[in-house]
Amino acid sequence: MQKSKAVFNWSGGKDSALALQKVLRENEFEIIALLTTFNEADESSSAHSVPLNLMEKQAEAIGIELFPIFINKSPNDYEIKMLEAVEHFKEKGVAHFIFGDLYLDEIRTYRESKLNPHGIEVVEPIWGQTADQTIQDFLNSGFKAKIVTTQADKLDESYIGKEITQELIDNLPEGIDVCGENGEFHTFVYAGNLFKNEIDFEIKEAYKLSFDIKLDSGEVSTYEYWQAKFR
């Protein structure tokens, strides 16, 4: 039976790797591309600020083409570029976009609201799993990952570059989601069953980033993150 063509929305992190591994094992979809959004200014991934060249190394090791989308800071550029990507892939027979989300309803609702009207079905392979179940699945999977971003008021710079291990998870501060699903931390997967080879990379140091976000109320909130600087 012919498999349905799909695009996997790839962040390069642990949940993304688990979801992709599950999809490939179940063999229901033909994954024709790994779609990742990048900041146009510095060519780092929007989700985890990982350099383009490292994301390309992941895709090469996995054996699926990386489809980068470069986003600038102009209003609505993200939605415009994503719609262009949707139309591009629809022409190739794609009707499914796959994500590695766990349980945040607002994220899934947003994705469906943007994609369903254009004939694209959202697929969530690990949706509904608890954070504890998911992190144990990751630790048992053979994947290797390091923390590359933290929310500064949740986890300090000492966590940048730390390996995801049982010991680390057991000793996270109280109130931190063990999968970082609320944005507490993000990871970069560099080895495991998905990869033909281990990704060679080095974290030089941690530096702080600040973002001002305008809320619906009109107020502006500042968010700070510790970010890995890659060599």
- pLDDT for residue 73: 82
- pLDDT for residue 91: 94
Phi then psi dihedrals of residue 33, to 5 deg: -165, 155
Tens of pLDDT, residues 60-92:
999 999 999 999 988 789 889 999 999 999 999
Task: State pTM to two decimals.
Answer: 0.90
- pLDDT for residue 222: 83
Q: Domain boundaries in the chain?
A: 1-231
Tens of pLDDT, residues 22-56:
999 999 999 999 999 999 989 999 878 899 999 99
Mean pLDDT of 199-203: 94
Tens of pLDDT, residues 202-211:
999 999 988 7
| CATH class, 1-231 region | alpha beta
Would you say residue 107 has pLDDT above 90? no
Would you say residue 221 has pLDDT above 80? no
**Could you give the angle at which helices 105-115 and 77-90 cross, rounded to 10 degrees?**
60
